[in-house]
């Protein structure tokens, strides 16, 4: 996995860059910038896009330092890995993410074609996808899959920025996700509707949190393939290659 370096406000972030065409920014999950993320980026690039997948955990270490060394498909391995993830996520403050997102989008536009871009996020990355769309009106497509914490009581909750967005949204929520229960899904959909935005806001039946990641025990192929199909259709509608 060949990575580029991006100079960030708080250090250097490695990123996986692949493909050519209009730009798509991929926000990874909390498990790290690893071969699984590169494979997903390559799949999206195969549709005719330039894809940038940064190590959003760069404040906590390099891609290698923040990625697992054990097989997370083994019993208990994923749970054990997540015991060390909490501090890394806590380092992703809203203010820090705003400055990071602006830098990531600028680098993506340097390598991609055109100013309009798409964003997609997985797990905690879905929150960043929503923030990116809320911060930049030239984000024309935004997708989030098995995202948690999109609607909270926090005064800086991601959903509160949605009225500033201009993107078309697609969400594929995990089934029985404690971080995104049905009432939160409903509230997110209402906020998007009130903002006059086009959205597909669905819970994927039987797909657990983390369903898209085939290097973990949470992988659920029907949900993963559905998410790719929905993302491809979204990009074809809003950001044709």
- CATH number of the domain at 7, please: 3.40.50.1820
What's the whole-number mean pLDDT along residues 95-111?
96
CA 169 to chain CA centroid, Å, is: 12
What's the whole-number mean pLDDT along residues 6-21?
96
Please check the confidence at residue 65 and state whether its pLDDT lies above 90.
yes
**Rounded distance, CA 206 to CA 195, Å?**
30
What's the whole-number mean pLDDT along residues 161-181?
97
Give CA angle at 210 (204, 213), nearest 5°: 110
Collapsing DSSP to helix, strand or coil, 184 comes out as helix
CA 138 to chain CA centroid, Å, is: 17
**Rounded distance, CA 57 to CA 30, Å?**
8
**Domains identified in the chain, total number:** 1
The confidence score (pLDDT) of residue 138 equals 98
Please check the confidence at residue 1 and state whether its pLDDT lies above 90.
no
The confidence score (pLDDT) of residue 163 equals 95
The confidence score (pLDDT) of residue 83 equals 84
3-state DSSP of 145-159: ECCCCCCCCCCCCHH
Q: What is the mean pLDDT of the chain?
A: 96
What's the whole-number mean pLDDT along residues 73-97?
87
Collapsing DSSP to helix, strand or coil, 178 comes out as coil
The confidence score (pLDDT) of residue 114 equals 96
- If one compares 76 and 139, the residue with the highest pLDDT of the two is 139
Q: What is the pTM of this model?
A: 0.96
Strand partners, 173: 203
**Rounded distance, CA 189 to CA 173, Å?**
12
Compute the half-sphere exposure of residue 65: CA atoms within 13 Å on the CB side of its CA: 10
Kindly report, residue by residue over 15-31, the tens digit of the pLDDT. Answer: 999 999 999 999 999 99
> Which whole-number Å values give the CA distances from 80 to 9, 70, 85, 162, 224, in the listed order?
31, 10, 10, 35, 23
Tokens of 92: 């992703």
For residue 98, the enclosing domain spans 3-238
Asked whether 162 and 195 are in contact (CB, 8 A), the reply is yes
What's the whole-number mean pLDDT along residues 183-194?
97
**Rounded distance, CA 114 to CA 24, Å?**
11
The confidence score (pLDDT) of residue 93 equals 87
Asked whether 31 and 63 are in contact (CB, 8 A), the reply is no
């Amino acid at each position: 996995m060949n990575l580029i370096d991006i100079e960030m406000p708080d250090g250097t972030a490695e990123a996986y860059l692949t493909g050519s065409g209009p730009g798509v920014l991929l926000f990874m999950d909390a498990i790290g910038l690893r071969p699984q993320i590169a494979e997903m980026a390559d799949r999206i690039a195969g549709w005719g896009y330039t894809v940038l997948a940064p190590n959003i955990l760069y404040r906590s270490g390099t891609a290698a330092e923040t990625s697992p060394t054990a097989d997370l498909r083994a019993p208990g391995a994923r749970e054990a890995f997540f015991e060390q993830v909490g501090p890394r996520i806590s380092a992703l403050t809203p203010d820090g993410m705003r400055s990071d997102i602006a830098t990531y989008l600028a680098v993506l536009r340097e390598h991609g074609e055109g100013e309009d871009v798409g964003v997609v996020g997985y797990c905690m990355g879905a929150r960043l996808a929503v923030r990116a769309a809320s911060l930049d009106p030239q984000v024309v497509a935004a997708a989030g899959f098995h995202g948690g914490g999109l609607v909270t009581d926090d005064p800086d909750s991601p959903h509160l920025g949605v009225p500033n967005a201009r993107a078309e949204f697609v969400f594929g929520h995990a089934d029985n996700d404690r971080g995104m229960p049905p009432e939160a899904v409903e509230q997110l959909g209402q906020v998007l509707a009130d903002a006059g935005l086009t959205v597909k806001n669905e819970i994927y039946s039987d797909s657990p949190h983390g369903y898209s990641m085939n290097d973990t025990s949470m992988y659920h192929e029907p949900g993963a393939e559905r998410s790719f199909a929905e993302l491809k259709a979204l990009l074809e509608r809003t950001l044709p290659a």
